[in-house]
Each structure stands twice: as C-alpha cells, then as structure tokens.
Structure 1
Amino acid sequence: MEPAKSVSLGSSLLVPSVQDLIKTQLGVVPSRYLRPDQDQPIVFDADVPIVDLEKLIDEATMDSELAVLHSACKDWGFFQLVNHGVSPALLENMKTQVQEFFNLPMEEKQKFWQSPGDVEGFGHLFVVSEEQKLDWADLFFLVTQPPDLRKPHLLPKLPLPFSQSTGPNGQSPKDETRGNEGHLLREHKAGNEDQLLPSVPGA
C-alpha cells in the first residue's frame, strides 16, 4: 500500500475562535477585527449575477453564457449557479450538518484545530502576523478530493452524518451533477477539491 501523499496548502498562525470571543461578553470588538481604513461598503441595487449551468453546457447557448460567467467573475468575484441538478433537499441537509458542526461545544471543535504549519482544520486561513487584520468568522477547511490527499486525522473524527457526507462514500452536491457536465466541463481535468465552511457568529 502506497503511503498517503502530502501536499502543502500553506500555513496559518493560530488565533482565538470568534465563538470563544463572543462568550467572554466583550464590551467592544477587538481592534484586529476593525478596519477603519476601509470605506463603508456600498449597497448596490443590482441583482447578484446568475449563471445557468444548462446554458453553459448547451452548444447553442454556451458562448453567451460564457460571457455571463466571465462578467460575473471579473466584476463580482462570485455568482449564483442555477439548473445545476443538485436537489434542494441535499443542499438543505448539507447546510444543517455544517451548522450542527459549528454548534458543537468548543472542546469538541478543538479536536479539529489546525496544526502548526497547516491550514486544514478549524481556525482561520493564511494568518501570517500578529498584527494582521482578521475576518469576524470561524472556518473549517478540508481537502476532500482526491481521497489520497485527505487528512486521516481529520475526517474520521468528524461527527456523523457530517463525516459521511464528506467521506469516501458520502453523497455530495457534485455526485448529483455528475453526468451533466457536458463537453465544456469534460475538457477540464479534475483537480483537487476543497471544502471551506464559514461561520459568522453575531457580535
């Protein structure tokens, strides 16, 4: 049996959990989470761009929908995907499992703390200095594909049914879309797949 592959995705300094900070009943938000040098966000009246997967893989509409995708990535950095073939029930189930994970007692979540020099696990991503500004959020980051890149010390410890959804035999949104990717997506070789699960607790 071949040894498990090791791939470095970077490192991150360990910082306190936002959920823990809230429990201390802070009178003010710590300065590391404040960004006074940034302008207040402007709320636009425009709708979030929508990309239709069916149009994206249909040769008759592919070019026009690719233009929509290009514009969304260039101007917004994100988009809503529709007609992707994933059932609403599966999406709701995943959302419920993620929320239940973040609702675990802190002593349980500590089993998944990031290790020094690694970004996978529970914590923050790419914190490189003690003065760096932080997002008001806790994250759980996990490589899910290919299976030989999964961290064996993380996946088996995940609570059921969350571990079943992310494990080798679990059903994921990608499973429901397989076979619907069409010529366009088949041209691209499958790469690594990661799950980044955020939790933004109320201040």
Structure 2
Amino acid sequence: MAEAARETWSLPVANVQALADTCNNGADEQLPERYLSKEPSAEEEVVAAGDDSTCAIPVIDLDRLVDPRSSSSECAKLVSACHHWGFFQLINHGVADQVIGNLKSDVVEFFKQPLEVKEECAQRPGSLEGYGQAFVVSEDQKLDWGDMLYVLVQPSESRDLRFRPTRPPSFRNSVDVYSSETREVG
C-alpha cells in the first residue's frame, strides 16, 4: 500500500480553496466547467435516493462479532456488507471517543489554515501522499469541491513525515494515537 500511494499518478489541478476564494471575492471569473455537475436526467441511474432503509450503510457491531452467542449472525451481516457494499460502519470498536475527537479536531484545524501553510505538505508529482487532490486522470474529468490530506499511517516505517503537518502542533500525535488504536481493532 505504501509504495502504491507513492506511485499513484494524478494530473495537477487548481486548489479548491483558492478557487473558492477567487469566486467569493467578487471576481468576474466563471467557475471552471470541470467543477459543475448537471442534474441527472430521468434515464440516468440513481445510486441512492430517499429514506429507503435498503440504502442504509451496513452497521457491524464488534462486540456482537466477538460474542459467541451472536457472532454467527453478526458474521453473516459482515459477509453481506463486504459482498454487497464493500464497506460498513463499525460500532463498539473500543477506540475512545477522545482519540477520535482529537483527530477530527486537528484535521478541522489543519483545513482552516491559510493555503500557504497547508501547501507545506503538498503532494508531489507521482504521489498520493500529502495535501491536494488525487485521482484526476483526464483533462475533462469532473472534479470534487474538496482538497484532501492523505498520510500513510501503517506500517509505521513507511511514514513520510514531509507530508505530516506540524500545525496544529498536536496533529502528528493525534494521527499516531488514532492509527495505533485502530490498528489494534484490525
């Protein structure tokens, strides 16, 4: 995984925060077409809509998964979630709310910073790690209205600290603690 993330290819695109600032500051620039989505037509397939419970993301309870009295039924839910969805929400995993909260808070603080600060951790050509956008493979691809920060956390020896923010000062520790806790869950 670490080598794949370092070798992922993506076309460079404008920073979303800078684009939004330009648009919000009264500039007469048109939004780039790549950031505009058309409304789906009646013939196009809708992936998920409404409050239909069949569209709800599967929830797997780790306590039930390890409890011999309920593990077979929870295991069947896990198999179904993996087969039909490819992902699920895990509850009762044992990662402390404070650990999760600290990481969320530090990520929010990172993204609130000025662009120049975030660009200290910018992705480099040919790499997925760092701050920016990824998975841009064509010049006419529709783009997301969001930048990302991708850092490798496991295995620890594959971490590249050039892409780890030092602001806020607690960021690296929050990522390390969260990574350690979730590794135990795994």
Same fold (TM over 0.5): yes
Q: Whole-Å Cα distance in 1 between the matches of residues 3 and 99 of structure 2?
A: 30
Of 2, 8, 23, the match for 2:4: 8
SS at match of 2:64: helix
Of 101, 111, 122, the match for 1:113: 122
Q: Whole-Å Cα distance in 1 between the matches of residues 174 and 18 of structure 2?
A: 27
Write out per-residue CA displacement over residues 117-159 of structure 1, whole angstroms, 9 at most, x where no aligned residue.
1111011122122211212211111111112211132237454
SS at match of 2:101: helix
- Give the structure 2 partner of residue 30 of structure 1: 32
- Give the structure 2 partner of residue 188 of structure 1: none
Moved >6 Å (runs of 4+): none
1:90–1:173 CA contact under 8 A, matched in 2: no
Compare the two structures and name the one with the higher helix fraction: 2
1:69 lines up with 2:94 in the alignment:
no
- Give the structure 1 partner of residue 181 of structure 2: 175
Of 15, 18, 37, the match for 1:17: 15
Q: In the TM superposition, what is the alpha-carbon distance from 1:53 to its structure 2 partner? A: 0.6
1:11–1:116 CA contact under 8 A, matched in 2: yes
Compare the two structures and name the one with the higher strand fraction: 1
Q: In the TM superposition, what is the alpha-carbon distance from 1:45 to its structure 2 partner? A: 3.2
The letter of the residue matching 1:128 is V
Query: What's the TM-score, normalizing by structure 1?
Result: 0.73
- Give the structure 2 partner of residue 192 of structure 1: none
- Give the structure 2 partner of residue 101 of structure 1: 110
2:131–2:163 CA contact under 8 A, matched in 1: no
1:13–1:127 CA contact under 8 A, matched in 2: yes
Q: In the TM superposition, what is the alpha-carbon distance from 1:50 to its structure 2 partner? A: 1.4
Query: What's the TM-score, normalizing by structure 2?
Result: 0.78
SS at match of 1:48: coil
**For the structure 1 residues 70 and 89, does the alpha-carbon distance in structure 2 shift closer, same or farther, using more than 3 Å as the test?**
same
Write out per-residue CA displacement over residues 170-203 of structure 1, whole angstroms, 9 at most, x where no aligned residue.
321642773xx5xxx6xxxxxxxxxxxxxxxxxx
Q: Whole-Å Cα distance in 2 between the matches of residues 171 and 124 of structure 1?
A: 25
1:11–1:118 CA contact under 8 A, matched in 2: yes
RMSD of Structure 2 on Structure 1 (CA): 2.6
Query: Any gaps of 5 or more consecutive residues in structure 2?
Result: none
SS at match of 2:3: coil
Q: In the TM superposition, what is the alpha-carbon distance from 1:77 to its structure 2 partner? A: 4.1
Count of residues in correspondence between the two structures: 172
